[in-house]
Structures are given as C-alpha cells and as structure tokens.
Amino acid sequence: MSTEIEKITVGEWDENTYLVYGDKDLVIVDPGDDYERLRLQIDQTGRKPLAILITHGHFDHIGAICPLMNYYDIPFYMHSADKRLLRQANFYRKMSGSKVFIQIPKTDKFLDNCSLLELGELTIEVIHAPGHTNGSVSFKVGNDLICGDLIFEQEEGRTDLPESDPTASKNSIRKLINEFNGCRIHPGHGNSFMVSEIDQSKEL
C-alpha cells in the first residue's frame, strides 16, 4: 500500500492542514479552517475519512474540527496537556484579530500514552514533542513527519506563547534531528523540508 500526504493551506493564518491517505482510508490532521474547502478536497480523494488528529491545541489548527466530525461522523484525537488551550481557542482567536468564532470539539481519545495509531489501513506513529505547547505531538507516516508548529523551514517554532516551554522545544527538536534524520518535515505553516536541512548552529 502506498501512503500519500496532501497539504491544504487554509484560514486567516495560512495554516497547513494535511490529509494522510492510503488506497482506501484517510486521516485529517490539523483542520484549521475553511470547512467547505476541506470537505470538497476530502471527497475528491475518494477515500473514507476515519479520524481527525491535531498536533496541538492552538486556535488556528482546530477551526474545522467540529463540522468535519459531524459531517463524516468520525472521532477526534489530541494530547490531554492541551485541553485548556482548546477550551480557550475563541479567546485567542479574538486576541489575534479574528471575528469568526468556532465550536469547541469534544475529544474522543487522548494520545498521552499512545505511540502507535492503527486506523484502517494506516499506521501512524505518535511522538510527544512538547515545547510549542505542552501537548504538542508529531505524527510519523513512513518517512514523513507532521510536526505542527515545533519547527519551520528556517526557524524554531514560537515559545513565547502561553503554555510554551523553550527548553522543552529545544529538546524536542534535538530528538527530531537525532532520531528522524531521513524524514521530510511537514510543518504547521510554510514549506516542507528535510530534517537534514535544519540549521543546528542556531543554538538548538
């Protein structure tokens, strides 16, 4: 079975939503906004959506979760350490200038003690990678790693936000460099890149 990862950039904050799919099944990662656009794109794949996963609970990564859950009747997974951020999503959307408020989803499964997800024909490795938030996780599929806002093409993700931890972030990035050197990184914003392209001279 071949596995593909499709990026769809959505919303006011140009957030990257990813569709992970095999021959028949599909998983949605970080559906930030633009529900109608995402639904059309998902339907065009011809695959069956099985679940929604998020890398972390920030407001720009969760906007389309509830309508997608309701439309496809699928569960939502996240790390429990980001429960408070999830609850406060509309407050942070307002603070960031948005006038659009969202329904806060109910979590069906927490990823705290989960290292591997078996979803239909898809096998997804779950890696707790705190720093950008306490509950940040990365999802590994083959040689692809969806890392949320932990790190971007040219810089470390922000650690000056509520519930961020600069030390934990640097440790998570070092782990990524040491353990996943052959992987392609798919971040929450911007372009994908190889782990080997990370500039380690930036005090990581």
Within a domain: residue 204? no
Beta strands 4-10 and 116-119: pairing type?
Answer: unpaired
For the entire predicted model, the pTM comes to: 0.96
Integer angstrom CA distances of residue 170 from 56, 176, 203: 17, 10, 8
Task: State which residues form the domain around 42.
Answer: 4-197
* Among the ranges given (50-54, 95-99, 166-170), the one the predictor scored with the smallest mean pLDDT: 95-99
Residue with tokens 């720093």: 131
pLDDT digits (tens, 9 = 90+) for 68-77: 999 999 999 9
Cα–Cα distance measured from residue 118 to residue 100, given in angstroms and rounded to the nearest whole number: 34
Beta strands 76-78 and 109-110: pairing type?
Answer: parallel
Looking at residue 204, its pLDDT comes to 55
Within a domain: residue 104? yes
Average pLDDT of the chain, as a whole number:
95
Integer angstrom CA distances of residue 174 from 13, 133, 143, 155, 168: 27, 16, 18, 13, 10
Query: What domain count does the chain have?
Result: 1
Within a domain: residue 86? yes
- Within 8 A by CB and 6+ apart from 44, the residues are none
CATH code of the domain covering residue 62: 3.60.15.10
